[in-house]
Amino acid sequence: MSEAIRCDNLTIGYGTHVVQSALMFSLNEGEMVCMLGPNGCGKSTLLRTLAGLQPPLGGTYRLLGVSSEKAGESSAERAKHLALVLTERLSLEHTTVHDVVAMGRYPYSSFLGGLSADDEAVIADALQQVGLQDMADTYFNNHSDGEKQRILIAKALAQQTPVILLDEPTAHLDLPNRIRTLQLLRHLAHEQGKTILISTHELDLALQLSDRILLMSDGGIQLDTAQALRARNAFTAAFKMDIFHPLYATP
């Protein structure tokens, strides 16, 4: 199994503020990894660093074999390798769902020349996968927060990248759609060979559906199967509480 992402002594943060340091881990092609940890431990910072939105404060990472130290790669070229879905409330006036998803095709298409038939097929397929195929001509701003999140996931799918990073993709979804979304992402990893890294607070679903867990805390990170992490009480140490105690069980 080939490596898709590799971090070597990576330090992340903002300006002079270090959030995590000396991160060493690698993610493989064809696996879905859920990133868990308490608020403020650096999950979103790591995603933004790997996506190239902010520079590492130290060390390096490699994306599909290309080092973060490589200069000159355009944003369009990078967007062919990696898609990022952030949790944010967007407001796009007079923009249809189709047009939002079509933005995922920009690395491959010239919007001045319009979208090709192949582009349109990719967009339709992406909407089908998130269950919004009948809403292509509706306006983005008329949808609920949960539907908007699914539209943004469809945009990432239309980008057709081998790596997808998602920050709380189920934050505004009800339980059935949370399950469907993570099952969809798992399918993309296993059936299409994509590398999926998800920051989430969905502990129960992450334990059931992820191939491995990237557990982040003030003490650093651990990357292993859910069973192995639980066996060595890693979750209790990270969250500073026994999250598997019946008191905290989902009703």
Please give the average per-residue pLDDT across 119-141, as a whole number. Answer: 94
Exposure of 150 in the CB half-sphere (CA atoms within 13 A): 25
State yes or no: pLDDT of 90 exceeds 80.
Answer: no
Across the range 73-97, mean pLDDT stands at: 80
pLDDT in tens, 175-210: 888 898 899 999 999 999 999 999 999 888 999 999
Return the higher-pLDDT residue of 112 and 174.
Answer: 174
Rg (CA), the chain: 18
Region 152-172: what's the mean pLDDT? 92
Residue 251 has pLDDT above 50, yes or no: no
Residue 124 pLDDT: 97
The residue type of 181 is: T
> In whole angstroms, what is the distance from residue 136 CA to residue 249 CA?
39
Nearest-angstrom CA–CA distance, 151 and 100: 7
More confident: 174 or 123: 123
- Between 70 and 47, residue with greater pLDDT: 47
- What value does the mean pLDDT take over residues 137-163? 91
